[in-house]
Amino acid sequence: MAKNKGKLWQRVKVWIAKFLLAWLGIWLAGILLFSFLPVPFSAVMVERQLGAWLHGNFDYVAHSDWVSMDEISPWMALAVIASEDQKFPEHWGFDVAAIQSVLDNEGDERMRGASTLSQQTAKNLFLWDGRSWVRKGLEAGLTVGIETVWTKRRILTVYLNIAEFGNGVFGVEEASQRYFHKPASRLTMAEAALLAAVLPNPIRFRADAPSGYIRQRQQWIMRQMRQLGGEGFLNRYKLH
């Protein structure tokens, strides 16, 4: 009996190893392929769609329209950098100072504030939503992968195409068409800042019905965009 249990456990370990290696292969292939191919959907989009179906909401559609960086207003690229990750052009995927600040404040819920655009891209594209040390560990590994293979411009392009801007609204093109009835290439500074303002919690905050807090955050983002140097900031680092 003990011998049979030992054999069974060995088989289970082999299957677990095969499963993990298969997922690793999928992630590596995704990093390589999406360094030049459009991203059709993200893990978060799949999670949201399946969640809606499981709750009986068959009207929900997680939708995104891929656009290149040339088809996105420079203000939008600048807005997410100003609001989410001002050190984006210079770091290697992680904001060490921000991470240390979070670790020094145990119990603080500012994990997103320590997440760079690179980390958010890795998480949104390949992983599930939520908070756990397992997910953060996988996120760190994937972040190193995309920072190694992709350019900063590519990371920013993918991020803007898969970021969640509202209920079922993914990607800046879909958000621009939904909320402003225009392509992402024509977004103004104020509109880009408004979209960036809802990113911390796009389900709770709404770009089409912004609260006073979101309007204040929009104004703060616009000030940060000016302080960074406007479009000149993007040109300096070849991000647009």
Domain residues of the chain, as ranges? Answer: 1-33, 34-236
**200-224 burial string, b = 16+ CB within 10 Å, else e?**
eebeebebeebeeebeebbeebbeb
The per-residue pLDDT for range 180-205, each reduced to its tens digit, is 999 999 999 999 999 999 999 999 99
Coil, strand, or helix at residue 110?
A: coil
Assess whether pLDDT exceeds 70 at residue 236: yes
Q: Does the domain made of 34-236 have the CATH classification 1.10.3810.10?
A: yes
Coil, strand, or helix at residue 166?
A: strand
The per-residue pLDDT for range 28-57, each reduced to its tens digit, is 989 999 999 999 999 999 999 999 999 999
Binned at pLDDT 50, 70 and 90, residue 23 comes out as confident
**pLDDT for the residue 77:** 98
Greater pLDDT, 91 or 128: 91
C-alpha gyration radius of the chain: 20
Rounded percentage of the chain residues whose pLDDT exceeds 90: 73
Which tokens is 48 given?
Answer: 């949201």
Cβ–Cβ < 8 Å for 74, 86: no
Strands (E), the chain: 164-166, 169-170
Q: Across the chain, how many H-helices and E-strands are there?
A: 11, 2
